A and B are shown apart, each in its own frame.
Chain A
C-alpha cells in the first residue's frame, strides 16, 4: 500500500490555493449574501413597527366603552364604536352567507371539471378579479345597486361578496387539486356517481383546509374599506333596518382618522387594533392549523416523499 506522499502529483499543492480573482469572488460572495440578509431585515422592520404602534396606541385608547357605546359627537370625550363593530359583523356575515357556498361551488367546478371551457374562462376571470382594485368593485355596486335602491347594508355586502367570491373559489380549487386523481378514480371504480365522489369523498378529505381558506377570505373582506365607502356609506347609530346605510369598522376608522379631533383619532387607533388583532388571529390560527395538520393530511397525497 502506498503512503500519502507517493500519491501526490506535481500540481497537487497549486490546485487548492486562491488566485487573486478567487479572493475577489469570495469577497463578492460574502458581500452579496450579507446584502440579501440585510434586505430581508428591511422587509421585516415595517411589520414590527406597524404592529408595535397599532398595539401601543390601540391599548391606550381601547376600553369597555369602545365595544358598547355609540360614537360621541366631535369634541366630546368618551364614546365607542359599537355601531361599527355590529355593522361590520352584519355586512361581512351577509357576504359570507352567500359567498361561501357560491365560492366553494365554483372552486369545486374549477378543480373537478378543470379542463372544461367554462372552467378555463372562470379561472381567468377569477385571477383578474382577485387582483382588480377593490374600489372599482365599489363603483360597480354603486351603479348596479346604490343608484336604484340607495346606500344600504345590502349594497355593502354585495361589494364584499364580489371581493370574496374569487378568493374563496381560488383557495378551494388549490386545495382540491391536492387530492390526487387516483382517489377520484378509486371512488368512480366502486360505481359511485361522480357527484357523490366529490361531495362524500373528496371534499371531506380536505374539509379542514377548506375551512382555513374561508377564514382567510373572511379576514380579507373584514378589512376592506374602499368598496364600502360609497355602498354601505356609514351611520352614526345602530342598525335598525338592513336597507339603511350601515356603519362598518374600516370606514369608521377612516372617517375618524380624518376628523382632526384627538378623541376620534384615539378611537380610530382602537378600531385599528381590533381589526389587526382579528385579522392576525385568523391568519395565525390557520397557519398553525396548516402547519400541524398538513403533515398527516397532505403528506400521504404527495408521491415519492
Chain B
C-alpha cells in the first residue's frame, strides 16, 4: 500500500513556499531600491574625486614647468609664457579680507537684531530682504556693481578717502571706481546673507533658559546678548565667518566685472587687480597656448583646494558648536533607521 500524502501537509507546505516567495520578493525589491540609491550616491562621490583628478591632471604641465615658484611669481604674461599666481592670490586675499571686514559686523548685527530684538512684523520682511540678497544671481551683482556702485564709489567714497586719508598707502593714487575696493564692497554685500543666516542658525541652538538666566542676574539686554549669545556661540560665529570667506574666495562673475582685470600688485585699494576666480572667467575660453591653459587650470586647482580646506574647517567648527548643545542628537542608535549597517 502506497502512502498517500496528507493533504493538510501539502497545503501547509505550499503556503509555506508561497510565503517564502513573498518574503523573497520584498527582500529583493528592498535591496534593489537600496542599491539603486546607493549607486546614485556613489556616482556623485566618484564624480567629486574624478573632478579633483581631472583638474589636477590638466594643471600638471604648469606645476611641473614652474614648480613651487608658480605661487611666488608676480608675472602673468602669455606672450613670454611666464605665469605666476602671486598677483592673483594677492588680489583674492585683499578683496576677501576687505569683504570680511565690512560684512562680519553687519551680518552678526543683523543676526542678533533679527533673532533677539526685533518684533515679528519687522523681523520677517527684513529677514526676507537679507535672504533674498543670496538669491540675486552673481551676474546681476556684477552688472549693478559696474554701472551703479563703481561710479558712486568713485564720486563719493574714493574722492573723500583720497582727499582726507591719502597719507595711508591704501588710499593713494588715481581712482576709477572699478578696482579692489569695489570688488571688496560687492563681495561684502554678497556674503552678508551667508554669514548672517549661519549665525542665526547658531544663535537658535542656544537654549532660551540661558538667556533668561543671564537676564535673571539683572543684566541689560545688550549684556545678555554679549554673555549668553555671543560668548556661547563664538565657535559657530567663527565657522560662519569662514564659510563667508569660502564664498568670497570662489565668487567669480561679480568680481570679474568690477575689479578692473590687471595682474599687478599695488598697495592702493583704488587700483584694479585680478583674483584667482576672475582670471579664469576672463581668459579661460581664449587661452592661446597649452601652458597658458595649464596655468589657468592650476590656478583653478589651487582655488578648489583652498575652498575645500576652508569649508572643511568651517564644517568642523559648526559641528562642534552643535555638539556642545545637543551632544546626543547626532547618534541616536536605538531606532531602526539609524543602525550603522542597514539590513535590507
> Is B one of A's binding partners?
yes
Which chain B residues border A25 with CB–CB below 8 Å?
A: 220, 223
The answer to whether B110 touches A113 (Cβ under 8 A) is: no
The answer to whether B139 touches A253 (Cβ under 8 A) is: yes
Which chain A residues border B277 with CB–CB below 8 Å?
A: 133, 135, 226
Which chain A residues border B141 with CB–CB below 8 Å?
A: 50
The answer to whether B109 touches A26 (Cβ under 8 A) is: no
Which residue among B33, B250, B311 has the maximum number of chain A CB atoms within 10 Å of its CB? B33
CA gap between A162 and B107 in the complex, in Å: 29
Contact A195 B29, CB 8 Å, known A139-B300, A230-B285: yes
CA gap between A221 and B196 in the complex, in Å: 22
B124's nearest neighbour on chain A, judged by CB, is A291
For the complex, is A132 an interface residue (Cβ under 8 Å from B)?
A: yes
Shortest distance between the CB of A10 and any CB in chain B (Å): 21
Picked from B128, B192, B307, the residue with its CB within 8 Å of the CB of A132 is B307
Which chain B residues border A106 with CB–CB below 8 Å?
A: 37, 40-41, 44
B330's nearest neighbour on chain A, judged by CB, is A115
CA gap between A199 and B339 in the complex, in Å: 20
Count residues on chain A whose CB falls below 8 Å from chain B CBs. 96
Interface-located stretch among A74-82, A89-97, A203-211, A265-273: A265-273
Contact A226 B337, CB 8 Å, known A36-B117, A109-B40, A269-B143: no
Contact A112 B337, CB 8 Å, known A106-B41, A132-B304: yes
Contact A47 B129, CB 8 Å, known A40-B109, A223-B140: yes
A-B pair number, CB within 8 angstroms: 271
Which residue among B42, B118, B304, B315 has the maximum number of chain A CB atoms within 10 Å of its CB? B304
Shortest distance between the CB of B189 and any CB in chain A (Å): 5
Q: Mark A103-143, 1 if CB is under 8 A from B, else 0.
A: 00110111011111011011011111101111111111011
Which chain B residues border A223 with CB–CB below 8 Å?
A: 136-140
Contact A29 B223, CB 8 Å, known A113-B342, A131-B246, A136-B303: yes
For the complex, is B336 an interface residue (Cβ under 8 Å from A)?
A: yes
Which chain A residues border B333 with CB–CB below 8 Å?
A: 115
Q: What interface size band does chain B fall in?
A: 35 or more
CA gap between A216 and B67 in the complex, in Å: 43
Q: Mark A221-253, 1 if CB is under 8 A from B, else 0.
A: 011111001100100000000000000001001
Which chain A residues border B337 with CB–CB below 8 Å?
A: 112-115, 181, 184
The answer to whether B189 touches A165 (Cβ under 8 A) is: no
CA gap between A265 and B148 in the complex, in Å: 13
CA gap between A121 and B49 in the complex, in Å: 12
Q: Mark A58-96, 1 if CB is under 8 A from B, else 0.
A: 000000000000000000000000000000000000000
Contact A134 B135, CB 8 Å, known A40-B114, A140-B51: no
Contact A193 B30, CB 8 Å, known A225-B138, A253-B143: yes
CA gap between A229 and B37 in the complex, in Å: 32
The answer to whether B257 touches A257 (Cβ under 8 A) is: yes
The answer to whether B139 touches A275 (Cβ under 8 A) is: yes
Which chain A residues border B18 with CB–CB below 8 Å?
A: none
The answer to whether A114 touches B338 (Cβ under 8 A) is: yes
Give 22 A-B contacts (CB < 8 Å), ordered by A residue. A29-B221, A37-B113, A39-B105, A40-B110, A49-B148, A105-B41, A106-B40, A109-B40, A115-B340, A118-B45, A128-B312, A136-B55, A136-B307, A194-B33, A229-B281, A229-B285, A254-B253, A276-B137, A279-B135, A280-B132, A280-B135, A283-B132
Which 3 interchain pairs have the tightest Cβ spacing? A223-B137, A133-B250, A39-B109
Apart from A122-B44, A125-B45, A250-B253, 5 more pairs, CB < 8 Å: A42-B106, A135-B300, A136-B307, A223-B140, A250-B137
B residues at A contact (CB < 8 Å): 26, 29-30, 32-34, 36-38, 40-42, 44-45, 47-48, 50-51, 54-55, 57-58, 105-107, 109-110, 112-114, 117-118, 126, 128-130, 132-133, 135-144, 146-148, 189, 192, 196, 220-223, 243, 246-247, 249-253, 257, 277, 280-281, 284-285, 297, 300, 303-304, 307-308, 311-312, 315, 331, 333, 335-342, 344
